Amino acid sequence: MLKMIGLTLAGLVTSISVAHAGLITDTIENDRYLSTWQSYSYTHDINDDGFALGSAVSGTLSIDIRDDQDGWWESFEWSLVIVEDFDFDTDSFSFYANDLNSELGLAALASLNADGLLDVTVTSLLGDFYVGNSVLSVISQVPEPGTIALLGAGAFGLLLARRRKDANA
């Protein structure tokens, strides 16, 4: 019987001791037209998706920026995307209306870990274009439950050893 309990506990500890990374995705559906010197700001909030503050390990930000296709003379459209504060960390400067696909830099991850929010500002420096959907994907650490299970199995073993010692005395 004791051997069966031990094998069951060993199987339980082995099965739940694997750490997993959680993927949290937040999509903001934009359809905002920007002309020269106009800006558009929005905030990604991953707090309502089960995000634990301080658990973000890495992430990516994708913003759909598309040209309005109004004429060849406006083919030079300059955009500036600022994530949190302007620091060339995750930010982007483009001479054409290009999509942004960027890994989150250190400053953006630090801000995300602090409050679960990521502020984004898109500015048209020259020309006009549309700001489409913005997708934030964050990989976060999920606490490893195996440590707690291992501690519980050890405490259970000590309890059984104590009972056996008391029964023999």
Q: How confident is the model at residue 93 (pLDDT cuts 50, 70, 90)?
A: confident
C-alpha–C-alpha distance, residues 72 and 84, integer Å? 33
For residues 70 and 128, the answer to whether their CB atoms sit within 8 Å is yes
pLDDT surpasses 90 at 62: yes
pLDDT for the residue numbered 166: 76
Q: What is the mean pLDDT of the chain?
A: 81
